[in-house]
Structure 1
């Protein structure tokens, strides 16, 4: 969605297989090997870090300062979570299971 809006997107992914898939499916995105605890970017180099549903995997004691390090002054950490729409039949079924 961010790419479609015209944002410059840089992704960090620790898993080699997922990084390969990311690069295959989004070839215009700069995809780097890295994690929330070791972001391969310079200090104050990004305006936002959208963490999405991955944040529960972070070692926040390490990732928090690392995210702060790469954020430009006034930058934001956007912790986004998917919400299940139980009005969609298959999601409602999944919730019942």
Structure 2
């Protein structure tokens, strides 16, 4: 019997990141979790709008450098976020 190894979906990876990495391994504060959650919520909505996909249909391969740079520009120009706030969002995505 051949066993196929499927890569986990982006949604599964993101959930594991919050539950296993942030909460269990790093024991970060609820405020940090909220900040990361908000960052990903903004990014996923932006990516969904930009790529014309439902957030649940986004894949890790969709998250390329041009998309992230466009998101950071969007934060500064359209949402009028400060550089500091933009960098907080970037830190969440990088982690």
Fold in common (TM above 0.5): no
Which structure ranks higher in relative contact order (CA pairs < 8 Å, sequence separation ≥ 6)? 2
TM-score, reference length from structure 2: 0.33
Report which of the two structures shows the higher radius of gyration computed on alpha carbons: 1
The structure with the largest helix share of the pair is 2
* TM-score, normalising length: structure 1: 0.33
